[in-house]
């Protein structure tokens, strides 16, 4: 299976920063990546779309992703 040149992702493979994150972040990234692959194919664009989806509810802190604080 082809690899993404920039992000180094294969189908159903999580980036290391996502691997070190919560199961919720992992599931969100994986689902978003699978949906983006259906639309864009195995390209950098699919990986960027998955990161964009992850950034909606999570933020990167060091080497992992944490849930954003929801204002009360």
Inter-residue long-range contacts of 16-20, CB under 8 Å, 24+ positions, other chains counted = 16/63, 17/60, 17/63, 17/64, 17/65, 18/54, 18/64, 18/65, 20/63, 20/64
- For the chain, give the number of residues: 72
Checking if the pLDDT of 7 tops 50, the result is yes
pLDDT in tens, 29-43: 999 999 999 999 988
pLDDT in tens, 51-64: 999 999 999 999 99
pTM, whole model, 2 decimals? 0.79
Residue ranges of the domains in the chain? 17-62
Mean pLDDT along residues 2-23? 72
């Amino acid at each position: 299976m082809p690899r993404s040149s920039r992000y180094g992702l294969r189908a159903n493979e999580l980036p290391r920063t996502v691997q070190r994150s919560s199961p919720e972040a992992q599931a969100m990234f994986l689902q978003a990546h699978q949906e983006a692959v259906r639309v864009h194919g195995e390209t950098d664009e699919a990986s960027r779309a998955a990161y964009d989806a992850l950034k909606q509810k999570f933020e990167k802190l060091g080497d992992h992703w944490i849930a954003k604080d929801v204002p009360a």
